[in-house]
Amino acid sequence: MKTLLVIDVQNDFMPSGSLAVPDGDNIVPVINSIQDKFDLIVATQDWHPKTHSSFAVNHDNKSNFDSIEWRGKLQTLWPEHCVQGSKGAELHPELDTTKYEAIFRKGTDINIDSYSAFYDNNHLKATGLTGYLKEKEAKKLYFCGLASDICVYFSIRDAIQEGFECYFIEDAAKSLDLEVFETIKIKMVAMGVHIITSEAI
């Protein structure tokens, strides 16, 4: 089954959002244009409590994008974003979600950040996505969304470890840090990820 995973195409990651990904809104028409080519479409949403530990505002004397050690791991502190039930947490209003069979929410645990669609960053809690996809007999996963260098990448990395064949649709994703992503692309190729464009689907 040909499966599309639409990662975190949410208002807070758009140019006007609190954690803006450059040109993040440009991928919405690209994603809409490819959806008819898939048998199954699943989306994810960052869905944080307002008091989430990854928000800089919840730590004394810390600023956005500072790094701290939190529960034995290095944690980037982010601007408050994708708070549960907020406008910023909603999927982009122009994203065509009519074919989406499920939406998996992540980052709900106050004490653990969760970039991946499959697990939190400490691999303590699964979202249930692996079991869902295997029940659907999905084998080939195509990834798009925001941001390429963070949530999309961590989702792909976990998907590879779970035994899925993975494709990254480069023109249907944007990165927060272009320089970092160039290094990540090399890692993805080494993991066996197929890097393609929407025209190649």
Write the single-letter amino acid at 42. V
Instruction: Compute how many other C-beta atoms are within 10 angstroms of the C-beta atom of residue 139.
Output: 13
Of the listed 12, 25, 46, 106, which one is catalytic?
A: 106
CA angle 156, 1, 91 (to 5 degrees): 55
Tens of pLDDT, residues 139-159: 999 999 999 999 999 999 999
Of the listed 8, 113, 120, 158, which one is catalytic?
A: 8
Q: Taking all residues of the chain, what is their mean pLDDT, rounded to a whole number?
A: 96
Q: What stretches of the chain show up as alpha helix (H) in DSSP?
A: 27-34, 129-135, 153-161, 178-191
CATH 3.40.50.850 fits 2-49+82-200, yes or no: yes
Tens of pLDDT, residues 51-86: 999 999 999 999 999 999 888 888 999 999 999 999
Q: What is the pLDDT of residue 72?
A: 82
Domain boundaries, the chain: 2-49+82-200
Tens of pLDDT, residues 17-57: 999 999 999 999 999 999 999 999 999 999 999 999 999 99
Name residue 48's beta-bridge partners: 83
Q: Which residues contact 120 (CB under 8 A, 6 or more apart)?
A: 106, 107, 109, 112, 113, 114
pLDDT band at 186 (very low <50, low <70, confident <90, very high): very high
Q: Specify whether the CB–CB gap between 154 and 116 falls below 8 A.
A: yes
Residue 44 — φ and ψ, nearest 5°? -125, 155
Of the listed 151, 158, 174, 185, which one is catalytic?
A: 151
Residue 8 designated active-site:
yes
Q: What is the pTM of this model?
A: 0.96
